[in-house]
Chains A and B, each alone.
Chain A
Amino acid sequence: MKLAYWMYAGPAHIGTLRVATSFKNVHAIMHAPLGDDYFNVMRSMLSRERDFTPVTTSVVDRHVLSRGSQEKVVDNITRKDAEEHPDLIVLTPTCTSSILQEDLHNFVERAQLEAKGDVILADVNHYRANELQAGDRTLHQIVQFYIEKARKKGELPTSKTEKPSVNIIGISTLGFHNNHDCTELKRLMADLGIEVNAVIPEGASVHELKNLPKAWFNLVPYRELGLMAAKYLEAEFGTPCIDIAPMGVVETAKCIRKIQEVINAQGADVNYEEYINEQTLYVSQAAWFSRSIDCQNLTGKKAVVFGDNTHAAALTKILSREMGIHVVWAGTYCKYDADWFREQVQDYCDEVLITDDHGAIGDAIARVEPSAIFGTQMERHVGKRLDIPCGVIAAPIHVQNFPIGYKPFLGYEGTNQITDLIYNSFTLGMEDHLLEIFGGHDTKEVITKGISAESDLNWTKDGLAELNKIPGFVRGKVKRNTEKFARDRGFKDISAEVLYAAKEAVGA
């Protein structure tokens, strides 16, 4: 048992449902107790879906517990098949149903006899996989199912498309800025003269899946979703997989160069160097921003980064490599894929943090006192409490992270969006200086900041008065450093003298 208040990645069935409902005309039936269909609320609320979420529950109640589901699951599948004629029904086990150990395979086979559409059972272990792993697995499973089905029928295309083409794999519902990223990737491909053969799973029909082998290569922009399917296609058809997220100026160029290499190897004759140069220097504003005076003011400022693998790794590299910001630590909650993360970021930050314990993250932020945080909604709230600005870069996210306006993170427009996000998160440079020169404009009482750090020290009246004169945005740091100084030297009371002694000693 584990005491937990907050989790970064959801349970496995959420991943399966995200993939299933991203496809067009695919219905998921959860084998779950009443109330587990919370996914429908999230999809309807967060991404403001206009259509009913194609997920229903075959309810597990007391009767099911005592007698087994019997006909119930089969009936629910065939009923849904008749009502909505989906192409595919995905029977989705949940944590509850997986301990009931009912033979869901058998239900699927029986239902398949009657159902006009296809029926499969999501092959996911609830106690071993989380949302991200399960989503990856389900996408793989559906792709494999339709490739094999087409192969049996002899419908598999044998040749590649005439012009270079790509499958974009991993765009899904409830994914962080996924729909904007998808638009941006399609634009980028159009610029490069590459046809988009398919985008999966978002908006795709399962009937298109048999055409996946026609693409020259697969692009997997997110580390978390699509890699299994792409590896499968690579093994089956030799389709090369490019898994470099084009996020940030340098990585986008790297991704495009890799595309060039891959399609030239298949007989295309392209050179994207000029395009990269043009975009980098004049179209995207990010490279110019790095040179501008604004960005100079950010030099050496401290930041911390936390999120999923894709976004945390990309942001760490952007901050450090493209803006000269000091990333004190970078972390991920994708513990199952920690080695990849470590390898990606170790040159760009002082420390790597692999954890899914939000308390440890909060403490690590309080300890470092960065000028800005880049993290999930949880880190945003830690930032609020510590009075540190935060830019949200990864799920878990809330409704405000599903903007209506065009805000990709990928591609060249993505570099512009990320630049704005980063710059706006730091206290504006000039404002910062002015506050320091004129002693700040807030007259708030000193409050103890920090989540775990408690103070056993006593501030005398004059000490407190001096502390109050220090501008608000550095006051916490001065207070902490002074207390550390006092503790190290065994002072019980902190007077103005101690405060200044500490300042001299540590430059607080």
Chain B
Amino acid sequence: MTIAQEPTALNFECETGNYHTFCPISCVAWLYQKIEDSFFLVIGTKTCGYFLQNAMGVMIFAEPRYAMAELEEGDISAQLNDYEELKRLCDQIKRDRNPSVIVWIGTCTTEIIKMDLEGLAPKLEGEIGIPIVVARANGLDYAFTQGEDTVLAAMANRCPDKAPVAEAEKNERNAIHKLLNFGKKKEDVAQEESEYVDHPPLVLFGSLPDPVVTQLTLELKKQGIKVSGWLPAKRFTELPVLEEGYYVAGVNPFLSRTATTLMRRRKCKLIGAPFPIGPDGTRAWIEKICSVFGITPQGLEEREAQIWAGLEDYVKLIRGKSVFFMGDNLLEVSLARFLVRCGMTVHEVGIPYMDKRYQAAELAMLEKACEEMGVPLPKIVEKPDNYNQVQRIYDLKPDLVITGMAHANPLEARGINTKWSVEFTFAQIHGFTNARDILELVTRPLRRNNNLKDLGWDKLVREEAKI
């Protein structure tokens, strides 16, 4: 490609949408672990159950707090009464597990037979005395991580809208607050309060493992920013207060519905920032939050440089190499941006769904990164077509393809390095601390191949084998 042909702005395309991804109901796998007092009831068919059972691997054996309400022929043909059936199952869940919330996950089937889950839930909630949150995380409308988005959007409506009056009680309710003040004397707590700058309350949204929550919270604390709460919290009973005028910021790129709900329904103000993935993203995320509160960030530049220095042994493995994202989990733009900063060339960013408004800051940062690193801008392909992508991969011969499990082994057998994309969803990748984990994943196939490179075992399918 000559310089003259290089696009000057990001090029967006949309293909047929025939791509492989996880069904959004997979979000129950990480959300039931995150929200400790929840129970997720997936109302669907054997197909949904089979997917969950296989996708969650060993988790299934650990008596998970999720179950299928498996629809039978009588449910489909409305010979059975939906309300009575759901009541029977929810009663059983209440008896066996006594959760603080039951989350109903609507599926393709409940959509098609138009089961009015949103209508049934409040009635049943009143009867059994447990909150029922309805999220329509189905494959008709959404892909993979967007499942979390639908659940959090529904949860956003359950956040209390008034801070409790008594200060003591407030402290009780706020898990992070308590966590940070753990073991400290009252005077110290008061002293610490003064370490924060006076700014309007900030609530972060997106489900992250608890250690990452702590890391990001402390990262903001260094700038004098207090995190009033997280959506979701460790327990449903600890959902953060959301009053009109609170500020909110997302930590993941797939949370556009949640962001919309927080803005429109809860009248919060969204801080549109790149996402704290990679040291560059983390710094930009903190800087943006600081700038909204009129704070001058302290020591961020040094912090970022220090992290980059620590990554050098990994970065030198991928510098100058190329990567192709087939697209399945919506983290693609942020990861592409970080990898460009690591010196990689990105051929294509496949992505299931592109919310240009919610991801605006991230897209701008990707563009800037490409410009500054002197690499061509990638093509962003929404709703990709996996078949076409594989043909492009054959042509481009990228050094690394980030893809789903359906394509990983066949590509490897054809001598193309792959990294399984789903791992990025389950690994800890946010903040300064975890930048190394991202590169640990990205470089693994390359390191493996360095070990095997002299064996001549690159292509393991016969020439005549068709794709």
Contact = CB atoms under 8 A, between A and B. Distances in A.
Interface of A: 1-7, 10-14, 32-38, 40-42, 44-45, 48-53, 56-57, 59-62, 65, 76, 83-84, 94-96, 99-100, 126-128, 130, 378, 381, 396, 398
Interface core residue of A10, A32, A378 (most chain B CB under 10 Å): A10
Given A14-B50, A53-B406, A96-B112, A1 B140 contact: no
Nearest to B60: A6
A51 B72 contact: no
Contacts of B109: 95-96, 99
Given A35-B144, A61-B140, A99-B76, A41 B410 contact: no
A56 B50 contact: no
Interface core residue of B61, B92, B93, B138 (most chain A CB under 10 Å): B61
Interface stretch (B2-10, B62-70, B230-238): B62-70
Contact of B70 (A2, A35, A36, A45): A2
Contacts of B142: 34
B51 A1 contact: no
A59 B18 contact: yes
Nearest to B93: A3
Interface string B375-419: 000000000000100100000000000001111111001000000
B405 A41 contact: yes
Given A38-B55, A381-B61, A48 B112 contact: no
B410 A2 contact: no
B254 to A, nearest CB: 15
B17 A10 contact: no
Given A7-B53, A36-B47, 16 more contacts: A1-B43, A1-B70, A1-B72, A4-B49, A4-B68, A5-B67, A7-B49, A7-B50, A38-B51, A40-B20, A50-B461, A50-B465, A59-B18, A62-B140, A95-B109, A99-B109
A51 B23 CA distance: 23
Given A34-B143, A44-B409, A96 B72 contact: no
Nearest to A39: B406
B45 A126 contact: yes
Given A45-B405, A84-B466, A96-B112, A1 B60 contact: no
Contacts of B465: 50-51
21 contacts: A1-B71, A1-B89, A3-B67, A4-B67, A34-B139, A35-B51, A36-B47, A37-B20, A38-B23, A44-B406, A44-B408, A44-B409, A49-B410, A50-B461, A51-B467, A52-B467, A60-B108, A61-B17, A65-B140, A96-B109, A127-B76
Interface in B124-154: 138-144
Interface in B163-179: none
B18 to A, nearest CB: 6
Give the interface size class of chain B.
35 or more
B111 interface: yes
A127 B80 CA distance: 15
Nearest to A43: B406
A7 B23 contact: no
Contacts, number: 164
Given A2-B70, A3-B69, A14-B50, A99 B112 contact: yes
B54 interface: yes
A413 B217 CA distance: 61
A95 B18 CA distance: 19
B73 interface: yes
Nearest to A72: B16
A96 B48 CA distance: 10
B21 interface: yes
B197 interface: no
A452 to B, nearest CB: 11
Contacts of B93: 3
Contacts of B80: 1
B46 interface: yes
A96 to B, nearest CB: 5
B406 A41 contact: yes
A42 B54 contact: yes
Contacts of B229: none
A219 B71 CA distance: 37
Interface in B12-58: 17-24, 43, 45-47, 49-51, 53-55, 57
A34 B92 contact: no
B113 interface: yes
A33 B138 contact: yes
Contacts of B139: 32-36, 96
A2 B20 contact: no
B460 interface: yes
Contacts of B113: 99
B219 interface: no
A56 B387 contact: yes
A128 to B, nearest CB: 7
B406 A40 contact: yes
A2 to B, nearest CB: 4
Given A1-B80, A50-B410, A83-B387, A128 B73 contact: yes
Contacts of A61: 17, 140-141
Contacts of B144: 35
A131 to B, nearest CB: 8
B75 interface: yes
A51 B413 contact: yes
A44 B410 contact: yes
A398 B404 CA distance: 19
B307 interface: no
Contacts of B17: 34, 59, 61
B311 to A, nearest CB: 30
B86 interface: yes
Nearest to A96: B108
A378 B60 CA distance: 9
10 pairs of A and B residues whose beta carbons are closest in the complex: A35-B23, A33-B139, A40-B406, A50-B413, A11-B46, A381-B61, A95-B45, A1-B85, A35-B139, A127-B73
Interface string B428-460: 000000000000000000000000000000001
Contacts of B410: 44, 49-53
Given A5-B64, A49-B409, A378-B61, A62 B141 contact: yes
A127 B60 CA distance: 24
B170 to A, nearest CB: 38
B387 A3 contact: no
Given A33-B139, A127-B72, A378-B61, A95 B47 contact: yes
A50 B461 CA distance: 7
Contacts of B23: 33-36, 38
A480 to B, nearest CB: 21
Contacts of A3: 67-70, 89, 92-93
B286 to A, nearest CB: 35
A42 B143 CA distance: 19
A37 B70 CA distance: 19
